[in-house]
Structures are given as C-alpha cells and as structure tokens.
Structure 1
C-alpha cells in the first residue's frame, strides 16, 4: 500500500457529508456506530489512527452520557475545531430525533389498535434478545478476572434489589478500583494502556499518536465555556417559567434529564435502566408497558439507543397534558436538548484535560472496572424488561407467554448464530406479530 508521508486534513464539506450520513445509517446501537465510524474514519479515509480512535473511545466511556455521540463530537472537534464538533454531535442525533417524534405521534394516535398491539407483541421479545446480545458482547470484553464478575454481580444486586442510583454505583466502582489497585495491584493491573490498539503506520494518519492534544487548555477558556453552558441551560427554563401554566412539571423534567446526562456513566445501557426506573415508578410519566414499547420504537430508528429518552419526554408531556401532541412534542424537544447538551460540554471542556491521560495505566484499569459494573447494569435492564414481556400477568411460572418466549429464543439464535442485522430482525419481528394477529 502506498504510504502517505504528509497526510492532508479532510475538507470541512467532506467531513460534514459523513456526519450527516452517519445520523441516517447508524443502526445497531453503540457497537454499530463505532463500527461505521472506525471503518470510514480510520480504515477508509485515514483521518485518525486506530490507537487514537480507541483511546478517545475509552475516555468517552468514562464520561456520563452516550459515548458514541461524544466520540463523534471529539473527532469532529479534532478535525475542524469547535464548529466540526458541534455539527458532528448535532447530526448524530437529529435524524433519529425526528424519526422518533413521528413514530411517537403514530404510537399515541393508533397504539390502541389491535394491529398495532400485534406489531409490538412481536417487537418486544426481539428487544429483550437485543439487550441480551449487548449483555453478552460487553461481558466478553469486560469480565476478565473473578473481581470483575463479583463487581458486575454487586452492581446488578445494588440496582435490582436495593434500588441504588447509578451515580452511587459508578462512584463506588471507581473508589473500589483505586483501592484495589493501590493495595493489590496484581489483581487489577492490565498492562500498558492502549497496547492492543497500536497502529503500525501512525504517520499515514492525519490525527495520530504524535498529534499533540490538550495544548490549548486554559483555565479562563474553561470558565467561559461553563458560563456559556449555564446560559444555554437556563434559556429554555426561563421560557417555560414565563410561558407555561405548569412550570413545576417542566422544571422536574428538565432537572431529571439534566441529572441523568451529568451523572450516568457507561453509555446508553447504563442510562436507560435509570431513566426507565424513575420515569415509570417515581414520576409516573408512562406505564412500564409503554416504556417497553419505547425501546421497540428506538430500535427501529438510526442513532443511539439513548434516543429512547426522547420518547419518554414525549410521553411525559403527552400524558401530563391530557393527550396533547403539541405538549408531547415540546417534551421530546426539551428532553433531547437537556440530555445531549452536556456531551458538548464534556468534550470541549474535558477533552483537552483527558487528552493528557493518554498512556495512563491507572485510567485504563479504572475503565475496566467501570465497564464490568456496566455489565451488571445491563443485566438489570434485561430482567427489568424481560419479566414483563415473558410474564405479563406477573411472575407466575405457568402463566408465561409461550409465544413471546419462542420469539426471544428465535431472535437470540438469529443474532448469535446467523448474525442477522438488527434492522432485519426488527422487520421480521413486526411480521411475526402481524402473523399472530391474523391467525
């Protein structure tokens, strides 16, 4: 292969076309997004080296919020500065937001129809299988030692049996990792950070390990960015206070999704159990059945799975304001804004700081423990949703839904054995539900 000794930066228009396209084709959750970005940015275009790509991904996994979107913001920022990062992050979520808005409107308008119920009866078991596949995929990569398995079990027990919030679980995980690493380093130590993702031809990439990061960090700039974030955060809140007759509801929704965005570390599968648990059980914004339907809708759209929180915001506004599509739309837009706004802050403010951790073994080891805890959280999500899909009348063994169990099994076989694309599985599941309805 011909070496490019002086790689040129991509044009802004070319990068913009990719970010726009990514928002429409990125099916398959976080793993799908990362695969598409790595294939195009690293292997095809050589805009960023593989080692730099995976280092950035690891750092994004330590940040709250959706790591795939943050990775897009980070790479866009490295390529074309702040404007590149902003547009990469916006285009990552915009298409799926509009698609989910349309699907949510259809859902509340026609969801009580028998044929619509049949479609969701086919989709729900497939969603359980998809989440189980995520559990298996993350578990294979995250659980290396007996302590990783113990930590995953403790994380599951904490959230499933004791209803402990995710921020406390993640904080406890980080503290545990640091303590174990200090007193028993042989149990935690993983080796040189980034070793498995070294690139043999770094000089062929525009952004590589020799590209300096974090040089532009200035405390004054950090404060300016934080003040701008605070202003943007306050602006919609002010309009809700001035224009809405029910400011208490909107304040609660805004504070909840801001807290979710700021304190839930570990990606979509960490955020979603937290959102599902509180929005259903504490706030009563929607029913558990509607929550499962929301997962099914989110799986049919491109973009991150965390986009399901936009559906939750829609249902919260729709239900609270007596079936108003307008208020549902406002709820969806507000939820989208407050869920994804912090990702830009984390990258633009924290990016230069985190870049200085490149090569840090401590960060790599702590990340391993955090990822192990995420496995326990995904297991909780599997149980939380699966029990209502398989036992719609309660945990009574002889009242298990055999047709749902059958489709969970078929979906698992199609994903694991035949590696069926998630999009095709969703279409097959919809057809399965309609066939049940016709029979």
Structure 2
C-alpha cells in the first residue's frame, strides 16, 4: 500500500474512533493532527478548505477529511480518508442497531458522553484561536467576523451568513482595491438530484435512493437531518417518530459524523444490506462534491475577486465556530462537574502538548467517575 495512503487511513481511522462533539470539534481535532503534528498543508489553505466546505451540502467535517486526504495522497486519498473516518461510526452504529432491534433499547452511555462534551469545548477554543489568527488579516475582516457572529447568535442560518459575508467582503475589497487587472473566472457548477418520492415498500435500492437524496441536499446540523428524515420516512409510514428519535440519538453520541444515523435506520428497515445501502447513499454525494470542488480551490486563490470572497468566507467560518462554542458552552457548563472537566481540559489543551484524542478519553473517564460518585 502507498505509504501516504496508509498514513491517511491511519490518521482518519483514529479520528473516526474518537471524534465526538460535532463538526466544530472534529475540525479542531483535524487541525491538531494535520496542521500541528503532520504539517500536511498550511493553516491558510486549511482555512480555505473549511470555508468552501461550509458552502456545499453534506457533513462538513467528513468532507474536510476528504479534502485533507486529497491534499495528502490525491484522489485515492480522498476516498481512503472519507471511508476511514466514516467506518468506525458505521460499525458501532450497526452494532447498536442490532442490539436495538434484538432487545428494544439502547445501552447506557450517557455517563461517558457527559464528560466528553465539556472536554471538547477546550479543543474547539484552541482551534478557533489558531485559525482566527490566520483568518483575521485586516480590521474590516474583524468587523465582518463580528457581524457574522452576531447574526449566528441571533439564529440566522449559517449558510446564508457565510454566503452574505463572502459576497459583501468580496465587493468591499474589490472596490477598495480599485484594481484594473483582469479577473480570472471560475465557472460555477450546480448539482441537482431529481429523485422522486418513494412511497412503496422499502427495498435496498429504495433505501439507497432515499438517503442519496438526503445526502445531496442536506445542510446544517442533526436537527436539520431529523427534519429531512421525518419527511422522507415518518410521514410515509416507514418509521415511527420514536424510532427516528432513537436513531438520531445514536448518531449524536457515537463518534464520527451524525449521518451514521443512516446506518441505524437502514438496519432497522432492511437488515445489513439496508444499513449498507443507506450509509452509501447518504455519504456518496459528499465524495462527489469534494472530488469536483477540490481542484477549483487553488484557482480561486489565483483569482483576485474570488480571493476576496475566500478571505471573507474564512473569517465568517471562524465566527460560526465561535457561535457554536458559545451555544455549546451554555448547554454544557450547567453543573460543577462539567465546569471542572472543562477547566481541566483547558489546562491540558493550552498548557501541555497532550493529544486532543487523549483529552477526549480523559473527559469520558472523569465524566463517568463523577456521575457514578454523585448519583
């Protein structure tokens, strides 16, 4: 096996086993593994990847693994990175689906998740500081970032905020530059799926098509995924809402992308082949989007006006991460136990060189012990 491909597989499989906390936490862990430790690319280019990934459908952190794999080992690296990151979550989720179908309940993992949540706050904060230093290149970008942060905290959709920031910044800096140089252009592309609604009895192919459709148009968090799957499955009588809620919960507390929910649902509806079909369907569009988009990113940097757009989107992406951190902090730090774990994680993150993965493990163990001792 190609040494670079082997390295890509090892890095993203390891991340896939420990990537708790949602996309912001996943990207923070990638920044530590890929930029700090291995220096596969510059932090500036990593920021470009984050900014552009936020503008396309699909799970952002999973698509970031694909971009990073592409940069390290070409097109094969894209597929190896994505599959390696997804694989642990799908295996764990499939096992949980089997237990759920057989015994009708989920295992008790809340004590471990309790400690992981405050631990990832420190990891996200560290990544924000590092990426923010690169993203903030002028006073105007600071103002733009604050506007996006305010909009995000007020509930404005993150895609709208990112696009608006990119366009506003691009126009402002272009007019400010008063450049007479010719501008390179990159032809935009649109990717539409016209998959008809399926109401008949579920088969493997139909499951694949349902989840392919969802994967091709999905933006946003697990709550958005819930809305899509509710419309596609619950309203058509393929799944009960209680079963869907359990499936979303599985995706939330297993490592890796929340879209591993698809594995759980696929198994419920059609066994092992259904799990495979649903998982393949929901992730396939992301592989295609990244495969098409990645070669355009360096060209965008070579275009003056698109460079302004990227700089503005990058600072907006960091602002969105700050908004996510604020929201997570409000939800998580509500008891002395979670505050204690967060403070320990802050010390380890900023004052030591301990890997983010070990900080996650530490949070899980301390969370488990504190919940056992205080209940």
TM-score, with structure 2 as normaliser: 0.70
Alignment CA distance shift 1:288-1:137 (3 Å): farther
2:137 and 2:130 map into 1 onto residues whose CA distance is 13
Pair 155,409 (structure 1): closer, same or farther in 2 beyond 3 Å: same
1:371 aligns to 2:314 (yes or no) = yes
Residue 275 of structure 1 aligns with which residue? Answer: 221
Look up the match of 1:428: 362
Cα 1:412/1:425, change in 2 over 3 Å: same
C-alpha deviation, 1:372, in angstroms:
0.9
C-alpha displacement at 1:415, in angstroms? 0.8
Kept in 1, the 8 Å contact 2:341–2:367? The answer is no
1:44-123 equivalences under 5 Å are 58=48, 61-62=51-52, 64=56, 66-74=63-71, 76-77=73-74, 85=75, 87-106=76-95, 109=99, 112-114=106-108, 116-123=109-116
1:11-410 aligned at under 5 Å gives the runs 13-25=2-14, 29-35=29-35, 39=39, 58=48, 61-62=51-52, 64=56, 66-74=63-71, 76-77=73-74, 85=75, 87-106=76-95, 109=99, 112-114=106-108, 116-162=109-155, 164-185=156-177, 244=202, 253-260=211-218, 274-280=220-226, 294=251, 297-298=254-255, 307-314=256-263, 317=266, 327=274, 330-347=277-294, 351=295, 355-356=298-299, 359-390=302-333, 400-410=334-344
Name the count of aligned residue pairs. 332
Q: Secondary structure of 1:184's match? A: helix
Which digits, 9 at most, give the CA deviation of each residue in 1:304-343, with x for residues without a partner? xxx414324345557xx58977655543332222333211
Q: Residue 33 of structure 1 contacts residue 68 of structure 1 at CA under 8 Å; is this kept in 2?
A: no
> Following TM superposition, by how much is the alpha carbon of 1:345 offset from its aligned partner in structure 2, in angstroms?
2.1
CA 1:282 to 1:127, structure 2 compared with 1: closer, same or farther past 3 Å?
A: farther
Displacement of 1:173: 1.6
Question: Given the superposition, is the C-alpha separation of residues 98 and 59 from structure 1 closer, same or farther in structure 2, using an over 3 Å criterion?
Answer: closer
Name the SS for the 2:257 alignment partner.
Answer: helix
Q: Structure 1 residues 313 and 376 mapped into 2: Cα distance closer, same or farther (>3 Å)?
A: farther
Q: What is the deviation of 1:416?
A: 1.3
Native 8 Å contact 2:262 2:279 kept in 1: yes
Instruction: Give the conservation status (yes or no) of the 8 Å contact 1:122–1:407.
Output: yes
Tell me the alpha carbon deviations over residues 89-147 of structure 1, each in whole angstroms, 9 at most, x when there is no partner.
Answer: 11112223221122224556488444x22111111222333223333332232224333
CA contact (8 A) 2:152 2:323 kept: yes
Sort the Cα spacing of 1:142 and 1:248 in 2 relative to 1 into closer, same or farther, 3 A: same
C-alpha separation between the residues in 2 aligned to 1:182 and 1:157?
Answer: 24
CA distance in 1, matches of 2:357, 2:205: 39
Q: 1:323 to 1:386 in 2, by over 3 A?
A: farther
TM-score between both structures, scaled by the size of structure 1: 0.61
State how far apart, in whole Å, the 2-side matches of 1:126 and 1:370 are. Answer: 28
- Give the conservation status (yes or no) of the 8 Å contact 1:127–1:295: no
For structure 1, the 5+ residue unaligned runs are 1-11, 43-49, 78-84, 190-216, 265-273, 299-306, 391-399
Contact kept? 1:152, 1:372, Cα under 8 Å:
yes
Q: 1:57 to 1:339 in 2, by over 3 A?
A: same
Task: Give the Cα–Cα distance (whole angstroms) in 1 for the partners of residues 274 and 205 of structure 2.
Answer: 13
Are the aligned partners of 2:165 and 2:312 in contact in 1 as well (CA < 8 Å)? yes
- Note the alpha carbon deviations across 1:275-296, whole angstroms, 9 max, x for none: 23412467568659966x7566
**What SS does the aligned partner of 1:420 have?**
coil
CA–CA separation in structure 2 for the residues paired with 1:387 and 1:23: 30
Deviations 1:152-173 (A, max 9, x none): 23223333323x3333222212
Q: Give deviations 1:37-76, integer Å, cap 9, x for gaps.
A: 954xx7xxxxxxx78x966974675354534422432553
